[in-house]
Structures are given as structure tokens and as C-alpha cells.
């Protein structure tokens, strides 16, 4: 078994963690909103009792009551975070030690959304986790358990904090929804690829769903994981009965499902919400006679963003070459001023043109390359889901990039020079990544293929000494220019073949360099590419605008039997028009594109520029109705069909906000000022945070001279009632966008009626219609903002 100390000492087939803490505390009277970790200081006995129950049930490791004990959550409490964590670990330690068992320091999510979708920066998250692990380690924790994570980026911050500040083993589990992804869109495969790369000791899933609903997710984790897999399900699918959250399944049913997982290969078990010592006891007993499955090293090479894994070697994967300043004046100019708009635009364009991975080089001598690399990675990850090839000869730039990257990147590059290997390999080991190995060393690039193979061998062997697996090495046999070194062209092709045969590693080549200095470069590029692909090239770095080069890749995949039944080929070339239009496409590089795509891609400054441009010829409302709303509808569709995930949804909404700021200014400038017509209260109902539509209604109403008291979104019923009463309001406008929140709209209307407030109520939002509005007792339904204004005019004219 591959368990690191101190878990080796168990010498057991399976390891058992404990079950729920939170729901156990709720059963003992903890109220919603109370911070459960405070009990470590105020009522240690209750925590001890829960720990003891689990230890007696057979848990090998108990989890400290420190899940939410971070400075952000505790800064408004009267308790010192260090005291809370120390007490939590010590209580658990006392109980565990007398039975020879261990304590895991529990780290849960911080409770805020990470950048770029939210405000929590990576380094802030890191600092909060760092504080927790330092205190927890000092208090005597035996390992760190990072759990219930929805955001891969936050998880990475926690893992780095644990590994950089302690030598404790790190276990990590994420939480998945019924659609098989975390809230932020990470799928099980991507989680495995990233967490293994970051060097955790065990990984898996906790909370989420009940054990039977988790089976599919667990299967996928087991398929890709080379390290021990851990599962801590809830006691069934949680459901809400209007008062309490209920977990339905029995310890027997729970343990039956755990036994199925054990037979598939899961080695570490425990329970989450709704479980208690009976669940752990039943699981220990159900697994007693099961023979564990050996954990095998999985043989695949993968890189990923937070929501998209690319397996190298499964077909040809194209790296887009255009985010590189060489020969690109606009990009150079922007790099000097720190502007990322070229980078964002090229990321989106190359993705649309078929790149699977984006090359990223920000190297200019006169700029701070480290800062720029960090900024560029964040900018790209905000707008596309493709993995990135972080390209720089400078190890500090590679390190900065690898640190802020969300997922597992390609790190480009190392070479056969001793001092470079010494600097780059520790970075690759620490952050995880596939590393491009250039076949050049202190003596330069060998002329012969054999010479380059030797350097590749040296790099692979040295990497192994750092614990870097051969499957994570991508060898670059270096494309030399045909016009200057014609004889060596075939040596490169031969080297690719030899490297593949001898080491079985993946290979990469920058293709365009072959034709430098010769006319009609595209002809040479295509031909060289075909030769290299035949020799075993996996990752061509190309200009995705060159349709001919992409044609070669598509054709090669058919002829090499990689594109089964030519499915992909037929989907591209089945319709002639498609290819023609692609060839005819103007260089989108320089054009602004339309507002709809700027919103869908989430590129804020482009959306702002286009909006300003549009406002010169179009009415503000026209832009809202014909550009913004259709774009958001498309975003909604893409979200539903899982083409995008929550971070992209948020990014599009943020982009609309920026665009709407200018529109709002224009509407207000053009409005009828100083005509006071009356007061209106507007709110998005409780539980709903969608407010773009409500804000449009507000701006239009103000534009028509109404005074709007905007209560915001997710508004308590009581607050609406009180505001209406205190301000003697004649018209209330309620907005709701989700089927699940329309019920709160009804409750709000009921409360207004029950309080006998003499106001009219208008409702709106995408899920409503006239029928529904009638059903829930509203006076009016407005399908859009314009109609809401008409209704207001009517109400106030009486």
C-alpha cells in the first residue's frame, strides 16, 4: 500500500474515519447560524462525547471540530481562532490517544467565492488555511483533512498551505452535485488529475449525496486515481420537510453501499451529514470480510483547467501558438502597459478555431514577467476552459504561473542543462504539471537524432530522482528552420520516432519554425506536420488560423485510425460551407466582435467598448432587449447543457453588469428629470440572488420619474413588509428567476396581504407568466421592464 506515515502504522486493509459532527451537534441543540467550533471552548464535553462514540464504533481517525474555524468566519465573534482550533484538536487528541487512534485536522471551505468569480483572492485563501494548519499542527494533529470543497482553486490553496507549512499527510475530498460535478463545475476526473499532481496522500468525495447516488462518481475517481480513494457520504440524499433537513437511509443500507465501494477499490471510509456512530459501526462490520483491491498506478497523461481535462495521447492535441509576443506588435505593446485584452481575445479565438491547449508566453525584457504571467493566467482562466502551456525560460516565471494556475498545467520548459533541471524540477514536483523537456543541454542542440534522444534520456532519469513520473514528461525534439539547417529537419522527425519508441513519452513540436524565411510558409508547415505526426508527434504547437494545418491533423487522425469511423472528420468536413467559411474568416484578432459574444465569453472591457459604440446609434432599451437578454439566454442554455459552469455564468453576469453601467448612465441622462410620480419598493425575493432584471426595471422606473426604494436581492419578507408600512408604499415590485423561489414570492404577497397593507403588487421574472401571477395573488404581471413602467403609470394615475 502507498499510504505514507503515519497511516502505515495501521497496517489495515481499510481505514475508517468517523461520521458527522455538525448534524450530531444539531441533534444536541446547536441552533442554525451558531458557530459549532465555539463549543470546543465552551462545552468540550459534548465534543468529547461525540468523538468517543465514533472511536468506540471503530473509527481509526477522528476529525477535529474545526471545519469552519477560519479567521473570516470568526472575526466578528468574541473568540480567538487559535484558541478554538487548539482546543478542537486537543479534545480529539485526548480521546484518540488513549485508544491509539489518530486525529485529522479538519479544514472546510472558507465560505466565500474565489476570484475571479468572487472576491476571495488565492493568496488570502492561502493565508487563512496557513493559519489553521500551523495552529492545528502545533496542537498535535496527525494529518490534515481538506473536505467538502466545491472549488478546485480554493482546494489548491488549502493543499499548498498544508504542504508548505507542515509535513503532515494531506487527505482531500470534494463535494459533488447530482449532475456529477462540484458547484464550480469540476468533474471527478479533473479533481483526481489536479489533486494527485499537487501531491495529496488520499483523495475522494464527501458529503454531496447518499452512498448509492455517489457510486458513479466513485467509479470515475477510481478509474483515474493512483492513490488511495476515500469516501464519506451523507446518510442518504438530504431532503427538507419545511422545518428540518432529513436524511433517510439506515446504517445497514449505508454500509451495504460502502461494501460495494470497497469491492471496487475504495480504501478509506467514513460518514458525513446525517451519519452517527451506528453508521460507522455498521460499515466496519460490513467490510470485515472483504478483500481490498490493490491500488494500481494508472497509465495516462493529463492536464486540465478546473473544469476540463485533456488526456494527452488520445488523438492529436493542438496547442495554440498565438499568445506569444514574437512578431506580434499589438501584443508587445499591450504587455508593456499590462493590458490583457489581446490575451483574452486570443484565448477565445484560438479555442473557437480548435485549440485544445493554449500556449502562453509573456516574455518581454522590459516588463515584470512574473507579475504579467500571473495576470495573464488569471485572465485566460476567466474566459476559457482550456488548459494552459505556461511558456518561459525563466524558472521564477514558471513557478509564479504554476502557483496561481487553477488545475494542472503544462510547464514549458526544462532542458538538459544541470542548473535548469535543478531549478525547474522542484517546481514541477511541488505544483504538479506536465513538463516539456527540450532536447538541448550545455553543448547546445545535437545535430543528430541520437544526440537529442540522449538528452531526453538524461532529463527523464533526472526527473525520476525528483519523483517526477515519466508519464508527465513531454519531449520536444526541437524544430529547426529548413532554410538554415535543412539537413537537420529529418533528424528532428527521426528523434521524435526514437523518443517515442524508446521511452514511450509524449512529444511536442513547435511546427511553424520549420518554414521561417521561406515563401508560402503554410505549405512547408503542413508537410512537416504530416511527417512529424507520422513519427509520433502528440502535441503540435500551431497557428490555429491556418486551416491547412488543421486539415492535416484531421486527416491524419482518420488515416492513423485515431478518429474512429471518421466521426470528427465528417463532423468538420461533412458540410462544405463550414470549411469555406472558416477559410474565409477575417482575422478576428483585430475586430471587436459583437456584444453577445463578449457577454458569453465574459470579456468585460470588450463588452464595455462595444456597448459605448452601440449607444451611438441604438436606444438603450434596444440594446438590453436585442443584445443583452439574448446573450444571457444563451448563457443560461449553455449552463443548463453543461457547456459552461458556475464560474463562467458569474463571469457573464459580471460582464453584463459592466455593460449595463454605461447603459444606465445613458438612460438616466435621457430621462425625464424632476418629475416626481411616487414611491415604489423593488426587491428580488428571499433565496434568489438574480437581480439583473430587477435592476433594469429600477433604472427604467427612475427614468420615468418614479422614486424607487431598492431593497436588493434575497430580501427577507419581513423587511419588505416593514418598508412598505413605514413608507406608505402604493406599489411593490417583486422579481424571481427560479422555480424554487417563486414560492417565496407567494409568501411575500401573503405577508403583505395579511398585514393589510394597501399596496398593489407587480411581479416579474423569467419563470413567471400571467397565470402564475394570478395564482400567487399578484395584482399585475409584467413581462419586461417597459411593461412594469406602464403598470406603475396606471397605479399612480388613480
**364 vs 738, which CB is nearer to ligand B1M?**
738
Size of the site for ligand B1M (CB under 6 A): 39
Shortest gap between Cβ of 255 and ligand B1M (angstroms)? 31
d(CA 394, CA 406): 20
**Nearest distance, CB of residue 191 and ligand B1M, angstroms:** 17
Binder among 158, 198, 478, 697 for ligand B1M (CB under 6 A): 697
Q: Does 649 bind ligand B1M (CB under 6 A)?
A: yes
37-60 burial code (b ≥16 CB/10 A, e <16): bbbbbeebebbbebbbbbbebbbb
Whichever of 575 and 740 has its CB closer to ligand B1M, that residue is: 740
CA–CA separation, 128 and 69 (whole Å): 10
In whole angstroms, how close is the CB of 715 to ligand B1M at the nearest point?
12
Q: Is 273 annotated for ligand binding?
A: yes
Q: Assess 687 for contact with ligand B1M (CB under 6 A).
A: yes
Least distance in Å: CB of 636 to ligand B1M? 2
Least Å from the CB of residue 185 to ligand B1M: 9
Contact 344, 350 (CB under 8 A): no
Strand, helix or coil at 317?
A: coil
Q: Point out which span in 97-105, 190-198, 317-325, 635-643 binds ligand B1M (CB under 6 A).
A: 635-643
- Options 47, 692, 749, 759; binder of ligand B1M; rule CB under 6 A: 692
DSSP string, 87-99: HHHHHHHHHHHTT
Q: Is residue 330 a contact residue for ligand B1M (CB under 6 A)? A: no
DSSP secondary structure string for all residues of 36-64: GGGHHHH-HHHHHHHHHHHHHHT-SEEE-
Can you tell me which of 600, 635, 662, 752 binds ligand B1M, judged by CB under 6 A? 635
Whole-number Å distance between alpha carbons of 577 and 562: 25
640 counts as binding ligand B1M under rule CB under 6 A:
yes
Minimum separation from the CB atom of position 647 to ligand B1M (A)? 9
Cell, residue 306: 478546473
Give the residue, chosen from 134, 650, 709, 721, that forms a contact with ligand B1M under the rule CB under 6 A: 650
Near ligand B1M in 165-184, by CB under 6 A: 183
Q: Which stretch binds ligand B1M (CB under 6 A): 19-27, 123-131, 427-435, 634-642?
A: 634-642
185 binds ligand B1M (CB under 6 A): no
Give whole-number Cα distances, 587 to 273, 341, 545, 549, in Å: 54, 16, 8, 16
Q: Is 693 in the site for ligand B1M (CB under 6 A)?
A: yes
Interacting residue with ligand B1M among 353, 691, 702, 710 (CB under 6 A): 691
Which stretch, 57-65, 138-146, 214-222, 639-647, contacts ligand B1M (CB under 6 A)?
Answer: 639-647
Shortest separation between residue 105's beta carbon and ligand B1M, angstroms: 29
Q: Which of 79, 466, 639, 704 touches ligand B1M (CB under 6 A)?
A: 639
Lay out the site mask for ligand B1M across 577-616 (x = CB under 6 A, - = otherwise).
Answer: ----------------------------------------
Question: Please, what is the minimum distance in Å from the beta carbon of residue 685 to ligand B1M?
Answer: 10
How far is the CA of 400 from the CAs of 197, 308, 394, 555, 651, in angstroms?
16, 22, 10, 38, 24
Q: Are 62 and 103 in contact (CB under 8 A)?
A: yes
Q: Is 696 in the site for ligand B1M (CB under 6 A)?
A: yes
Cβ atoms 319, 386 nearer than 8 A: no
Q: Which is nearer to ligand B1M, 96 or 653 (CB)?
A: 653
Out of 633, 661, 670, 774, which residue is the one contacting ligand B1M (CB under 6 A)?
633
**Do residues 474 and 504 lie in contact, with contact meaning Cβ atoms separated by under 8 Å?**
no
Here's the x/- map for ligand B1M, 721-750, by CB under 6 A: it reads as: ------------xxx-xxxx----------
> Based on CB atoms, which residue is closest to ligand B1M, 50 or 761?
761
Span from 125-133, 293-301, 532-540, 682-690 in contact with ligand B1M (CB under 6 A): 682-690
Strands (E), 83-236: 102-107, 143-149, 170-174, 202-207, 229-233
Closest C-alpha among 375, 488, 399 to residue 440: 488
Angstrom distances, CA of residue 183 to CA of 105, 208, 238, 261, 426: 24, 10, 16, 24, 32
For ligand B1M, the binding residues in 502-561 under the rule CB under 6 A are: none
Q: Which is nearer to ligand B1M, 324 or 627 (CB)?
A: 627
Q: Residue 532 CA to chain centroid, in angstroms?
A: 34
Among 550, 664, 690, 746, the residue binding ligand B1M under the rule CB under 6 A is 690
Percent helix / strand / coil, the chain, rounded to 5: 50, 15, 35
Scanning 8-16, 270-278, 586-594, 627-635 for contacts with ligand B1M by CB under 6 A, the matching segment is 627-635
Contact string (CB under 6 A) for ligand B1M, positions 757-796, x = contact: -----x-xxxx--------------x-xx--x--------
Question: Does 631 interact with ligand B1M (rule: CB under 6 A)?
Answer: no
* Residue number with CB closer to ligand B1M (489 or 649): 649
Cα 369–318–122 angle (5° rounding)?
Answer: 40
- Tell me the three cell numbers of residue 60: 481509526
* Strand duo 239-240 + 245-246: pairing: antiparallel
Contact 431, 199 (CB under 8 A): no
What's the Cα-to-Cα distance from 609 to each of 340, 384, 594, 757, rounded to whole Å?
A: 15, 20, 10, 45
199 binds ligand B1M (CB under 6 A): no
Strand order from edge to edge, sheet including 731-735: 707-710, 679-684, 731-735, 760-764, 780-781
Contacts of 600 (CB under 8 A, 6+ apart): 631, 634, 635, 638, 652
- DSSP letters, 364-413, are -TTS-HHHHHHHHHHHHHHH----EEEE-S-HHHHHHHHHH-SSB-EEEE
- At 310 the three-state DSSP class reads strand
Please tell me whether residue 647 binds ligand B1M under the rule CB under 6 A: no
Q: How far is the CB of 36 from ligand B1M (least distance, A)?
A: 23
Shortest reach from residue 345's CB to ligand B1M, in Å: 22
Q: Does residue 653 bind ligand B1M (CB under 6 A)?
A: yes
> For ligand B1M, which is the closer residue by CB, 94 or 787?
787
Could you tell me the three cell numbers for 562?
485515431
CB of 210 to ligand B1M, least distance (A): 20
Peptide bond before residue 116 is cis, with ω within 30 degrees of 0: yes
Q: Which residues are annotated as a binding site for Zn(2+)?
A: 207, 272-273
- Binding residue positions: 207, 272-273
Residues that bind ligand B1M (CB under 6 A): 183, 629, 632-633, 635-636, 639-640, 646, 649-650, 653, 682, 687-694, 696-697, 733-735, 737-740, 762, 764-767, 782, 784-785, 788
Amino acid at each position: 500500500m502507498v499510504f505514507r506515515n503515519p497511516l502505515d502504522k495501521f497496517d489495515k486493509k481499510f481505514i475508517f474515519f468517523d461520521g458527522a459532527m455538525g448534524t450530531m451537534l444539531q441533534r444536541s441543540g446547536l441552533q442554525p447560524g451558531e458557530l459549532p467550533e465555539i463549543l470546543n471552548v465552551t462545552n468540550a464535553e459534548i465534543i468529547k462525547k461525540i468523538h468517543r462514540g465514533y472511536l468506540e464504533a471503530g473509527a481509526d481517525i477522528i476529525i477535529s471540530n474545526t471545519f469552519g474555524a477560519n479567521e473570516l468566519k470568526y472575526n466578528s465573534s468574541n473568540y480567538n481562532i487559535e484558541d478554538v482550533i487548539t482546543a478542537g484538536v486537543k479534545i480529539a487528541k485526548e480521546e484518540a490517544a488513549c485508544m491509539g487512534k489518530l486525529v485529522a485536522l479538519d479544514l472546510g471551505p472558507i465560505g466565500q467565492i474565489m476570484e475571479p468569480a468572487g472576491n476571495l483572492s488565492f493568496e488570502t485563501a492561502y493565508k487563512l488555511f496557513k493559519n489553521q494548519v500551523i495552529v492545528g499542527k502545533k496542537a498535535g494533529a496527525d494529518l490534515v483533512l481538506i473536505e467538502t470543497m466545491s472549488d478546485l482553486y480554493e482546494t489548491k490553496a488549502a493543499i499548498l498551505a498544508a504542504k508548505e507549512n507542515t509535513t503532515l499527510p494531506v487527505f482531500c475530498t470534494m463535494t459533488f452535485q447530482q449532475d456529477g460535478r462540484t458547484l464550480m463545475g469540476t468533474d471527478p476526473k479533473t479533481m483526481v488529475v489536479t489533486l494527485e499532481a499537487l501531491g495529496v496522500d488520499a483523495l475522494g468525495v464527501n458529503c454531496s449525496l447518499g452512498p448509492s447516488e455517489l457510486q458513479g462518481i466513485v467509479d470515475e475517481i477510481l478509474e483515474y486515481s493512483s492513490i488511495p480513494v476515500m469516501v464519506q457520504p451523507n446518510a442518504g440524499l438530504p431532503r427538507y420537510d419545511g422545518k428540518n433537513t432529513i436524511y433517510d437511509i439506515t446504517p445497514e443500507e449505508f454500509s451495504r453501499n460502502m461494501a460495494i465501494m470497497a469491492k471496487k477499490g475504495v480504501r478509506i471510509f467514513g460518514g458525513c451529514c446525517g451519519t452517527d456512530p451506528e453508521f460507522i459501526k455498521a460499515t466496519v462490520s460490513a467490510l470485515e470480510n472483504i478483500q481490498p483491491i490493490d491500488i494500481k498506478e494508472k497509465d495516462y497523461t493529463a492536464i486540465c483547467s478546473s473544469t476540463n481535462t485533456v488526456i494527452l495521447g488520445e488523438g492529436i492535441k493542438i496547442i495554440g501558438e498565438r499568445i506569444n509576443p514574437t512578431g506580434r506588435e499589438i501584443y508587445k505593446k499591450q504587455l508593456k502597459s499590462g493590458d490583457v485584452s489581446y490575451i483574452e481575445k486570443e484565448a477565445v479565438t484560438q479555442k473557437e478555431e480548435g485549440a485544445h491547449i493554449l500556449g502562453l508566453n509573456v516574455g518581454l525584457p522590459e516588463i515584470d514577467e512574473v507579475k504579467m504571467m500571473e495576470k495573464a493566467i488569471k485572465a485566460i482562466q476567466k474566459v476559457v476552459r482550456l488548459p494552459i502551456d505556461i511558456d518561459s525560460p525563466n524558472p521564477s516565471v514558471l513557478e509564479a504561473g504554476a502557483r496561481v494556475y487553477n488545475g494542472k498545467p503544462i510547464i514549458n520548459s526544462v532542458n538538459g542543462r544541470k542548473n535548469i533541471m535543478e531549478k525547474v524540477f522542484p517546481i514541477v514536483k511541488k505544483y504538479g504539471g506536465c513538463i516539456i523537456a527540450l532536447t538541448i543541454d550545455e553543448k547546445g542542440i545535437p545535430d543528430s537524432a541520437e544526440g537529442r534522444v540522449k538528452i531526453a534520456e538524461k532529463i527523464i532519469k533526472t526527473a525520476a530522482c525528483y519523483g517526477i513520473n515519466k508519464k508527465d514528461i513531454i519531449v520536444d525534439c526541437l524544430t529547426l528552420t529548413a532554410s538554415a539547417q535543412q539537413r537537420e529537419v529529418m533528424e528532428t522527425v527521426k528523434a521524435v520516432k526514437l523518443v517515442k519508441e524508446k521511452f514511450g513519452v509524449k512529444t511536442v513540436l513547435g511546427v511553424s519554425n520549420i518554414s521561417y524565411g521561406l515563401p508560402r510558409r503554410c505549405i512547408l508547415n503542413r508537410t512537416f506536420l504530416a511527417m512529424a505526426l507520422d513519427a509520433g508527434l502528440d502535441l503540435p504547437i500551431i497557428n490555429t488560423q491556418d486551416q491547412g494545418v488543421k486539415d492535416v491533423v484531421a486527416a491524419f487522425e482518420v488515416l492513423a485510425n485515431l478518429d474512429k469511423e471518421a466521426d470528427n472528420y465528417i463532423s468538420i468536413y461533412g458540410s462544405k460551407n463550414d470549411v469555406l467559411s472558416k477559410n474565409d474568416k477575417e482575422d478576428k484578432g483585430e475586430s471587436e466582435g459583437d456584444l453577445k459574444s463578449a457577454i458569453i465569453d465574459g470579456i468585460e472591457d470588450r463588452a464595455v467598448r462595444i456597448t459605448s459604440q452601440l449607444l451611438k446609434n441604438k436606444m438603450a432599451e434596444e440594446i438590453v432587449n436585442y443584445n443583452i437578454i439574448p446573450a444571457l439566454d444563451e448563457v443560461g442554455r449553455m449552463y443548463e447543457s453543461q457547456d459552461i459552469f458556475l464560474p463562467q455564468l458569474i463571469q457573464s453576469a459580471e460582464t453584463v453588469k459592466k455593460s449595463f453601467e454605461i447603459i444606465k448612465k445613458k438612460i438616466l441622462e435621457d430621462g425625464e428629470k424632476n418629475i416626481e410620480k411616487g414611491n415604489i419598493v423593488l426587491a428580488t425575493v428571499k433565496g434568489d440572488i438574480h437581480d439583473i432584471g430587477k435592476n433594469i426595471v429600477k433604472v427604467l422606473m427612475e427614468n420615468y420619474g418614479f422614486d424607487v426604494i431598492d431593497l436588493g436581492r434575497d430580501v427577507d419578507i419581513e423587511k419588505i413588509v416593514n418598508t412598505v408600512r413605514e413608507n406608505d408604499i402604493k406599489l411593490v415590485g417583486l422579481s424571481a428567476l427560479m422555480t424554487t423561489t417563486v414560492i417565496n414570492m407567494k409568501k411575500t404577497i401573503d405577508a403583505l396581504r395579511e398585514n393589510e397593507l394597501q399596496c398593489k403588487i407587480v411581479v416579474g421574472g423569467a419563470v413567471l407568466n400571467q397565470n402564475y401571477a394570478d395564482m400567487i395573488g399578484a395584482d399585475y404581471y409584467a413581462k419586461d421592464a417597459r411593461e412594469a413602467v406602464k403598470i406603475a403609470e396606471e397605479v399612480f394615475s388613480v
